[in-house]
Amino acid sequence: MLNKSFAYFAFLYCMFMLLDVLSFNNISSTFKFLFMFSIFLYSQKNTQNNFIKAALGLTLISDFFLIFTKYHKTGILFFSGAIIMYIAAFSKNKNLIKYSVFAAFIFALPFIKYPLYLVSIFYGVLFYINLLLVYKNYFLIYPCLPFAFTLFAFCDIFVALYNLTSNEMFYYFIWLFYAPSQYIILRFSTKWSPERV
């Protein structure tokens, strides 16, 4: 089962990376979304943790807005929700979970009025809180998880570089790092035993 699923995701990954290089952007976008939609479906069948299921669902919605529309603030908002779900899944501190959810709710209410850079900063703060959590709590027992979110962080760095410079070279690196990070998170979530933490 693992080999078949890996081959399937690897095929989609190679297809959209090749299509990006060949500048078939519309077809590439379809393969990217299919990759993430498959991640979501696989998680619903094979992942027991509801927070991770929710995170991958919100990630899928975010990717839809970021890939197919110009509503980038909406996409980042859903990404922020996904990160909050990860914080809830991986944190041992219940107060941190409550504060994160409360802060996100307060921030989200008037988010349409906020400039894109402010929405992005809020997302970045949440992301790096979660990154610190997974390194602190999982580096020794589940090193694949910090590795996945490190790849995720590289993706975000290249998103920022691309938006700041419009250099196409940076664009290719976004999904180069992003897709493997999501696949590793998915594989982790199917084997995760919270009792070991």
Q: What is the mean pLDDT of the chain?
A: 87
Q: What is residue 195's predicted lDDT score, i.e. its pLDDT?
A: 46
Q: What is residue 197's predicted lDDT score, i.e. its pLDDT?
A: 41
**Amino acid, res. 81:** G
Closest CA to 47 of 194, 188, 184, 183: 188
Residue 73: C-alpha distances to residues 56, 77, 173, 183 (Å):
18, 6, 21, 25
Structure-model confidence comparison of residues 30 and 48, the more confident one: 30
Q: How far, in Å, CA of 111 to CA of 124, rounded?
A: 15
**Amino acid, res. 187:** R
Task: Work out the percent of the chain whose per-residue pLDDT is above 70.
Answer: 85
Which bin fits 23, alpha (ψ -120 to 50), beta or left (φ > 0)? Answer: left
pLDDT(193) > 80: no
Tokens of 38: 């498959």
Among 25-29, 85-89, 94-98, top mean pLDDT goes to 25-29
User: Which residue do the tokens 């976004």 mark?
Assistant: 174
Residue 21: C-alpha distances to residues 8, 10, 88 (Å):
20, 17, 37
Q: What is residue 50's predicted lDDT score, i.e. its pLDDT?
A: 87
pTM of the model: 0.88
pLDDT(173) > 60: yes
Sign of CA dihedral 137, 143, 144, 146: positive
Q: Are 134 and 89 in contact (CB under 8 A)?
A: no
In tens, the pLDDT along 116-151 reads 788 888 889 889 989 999 999 888 888 999 999 999
The pLDDT-based confidence of 196 (bands split at 50, 70, 90) is very low
Closest CA to 111 of 80, 82, 69, 85: 80
Q: E strands within the chain?
A: none
